[in-house]
Amino acid sequence: MTNKTLNYVMSSVIPKRCFACGDLLDSERRGYALCSECQNEWNEQKHTPCSVCGRQVMMCRCMSNDMRSGLISYSASCIEFDSEISKKLIYSFKRKRSYRLADFFAMQIAESIFLKNGIHFENCIIVYPRRSYEGRARFGFDHARLLAVRVGKITGIKVCHIFGNKGMSAQKELDLRSRLVNAFASFYIKNKEECVESVKGKDVILIDDVVTTGCTALCLASLLHNAGANSTSLFTIGKVPSKKTKNIR
């Protein structure tokens, strides 16, 4: 038996659990990330109005002032990153490689891409902030890459692996200015010539797990702009509610 066959047999025998509550999934939900109750809760949270503008999270366009600089022309998130379920799912996604959870999140992001009006798929490329070397060594994989590749498969948009990440210091507990300086010290374009070739004139779809202040996105959008991108749109799974990011200032 080959490894692939063995993996397949094992995966169809080993019981699957819901990533949110840990309950065993029944046979018809085996391929899903969540049990039906947790799926309902997720859906409900997606429809919770934004505390600032009152729109559904997916339709909310509240951004920090810095993100209105024009470098990021559009941004959409699936859920507010403050509920128990959103935190639990996103944290486990970052810590343990799971294709089932990656597929779940990729479907959510693909949905928000399809909801964007006037998108020209043939002129789009997908990029993502590469996980730092330290993060990859610690967790054994790059969750951002995993997500981007799967969104690329669903939407048919080409994924370009253009960013490197020196992983300067953690973003937590820094003020906005330091976060931005830190992002510029961390992210770089791996191969400039190749990058310009794939980015020039393109509408770039930037995919990330969570947007907090938007500093990482702003830094990447500025690198993309300098490489000749036509526009950058940001799509994330979660966003820290606007009322909370205001306090970071």
CA–CA–CA angle 108, 111, 112 (5° rounding): 95
Number of Cβ within a 10 Å radius of residue 158: 14
60 binds Zn ion (CB under 5 A): yes
Q: Radius of gyration (Cα) for the chain, nearest Å?
A: 18
Question: Which part of the chain contacts Zn ion (CB under 5 A), choosing from 43-51, 76-84, 109-117, 160-168?
Answer: 43-51
Q: 83 vs 198, which CB is nearer to Zn ion?
A: 83
Q: 9 vs 52, which CB is nearer to Zn ion?
A: 52
Handedness of CA 86, 159, 212, 141 (dihedral sign): positive
Question: Which part of the chain contacts Zn ion (CB under 5 A), choosing from 32-40, 76-84, 101-109, 170-178?
Answer: 32-40
Burial (CB < 10 A; 0-12, 13-18, 19+), residue 51, is middle
Q: 104 vs 128, which CB is nearer to Zn ion?
A: 104
Q: Which of 52, 59, 115, 170 binds Zn ion (CB under 5 A)?
A: 52
- Least distance (Å) between residue 160 CB and Zn ion: 30
**DSSP 8-state class, residue 177:** H
Q: How far apart are CA 107 and CA 43, in angstroms?
A: 13
Q: Which of 33, 41, 46, 50 binds Zn ion (CB under 5 A)?
A: 50
Closest to 220 in 3D by CA, of 239, 207, 209, 210: 207
62 binds Zn ion (CB under 5 A): yes
Q: How far apart are CA 71 and CA 25, in angstroms?
A: 43
Q: Which of 16, 25, 33, 35 binds Zn ion (CB under 5 A)?
A: 35
18 binds Zn ion (CB under 5 A): yes
- Least distance (Å) between residue 25 CB and Zn ion: 8
- Least distance (Å) between residue 84 CB and Zn ion: 12
How many amino acids of this chain bind Zn ion (CB under 5 A)? 10
Closest to 80 in 3D by CA, of 116, 50, 102: 50
- Least distance (Å) between residue 158 CB and Zn ion: 31
Q: Is the distance from CB of 232 to CB of 204 less than 8 angstroms? A: yes
21 binds Zn ion (CB under 5 A): yes
Binding site for Zn ion (CB under 5 A): 18, 20-21, 35, 38, 50, 52-53, 60, 62
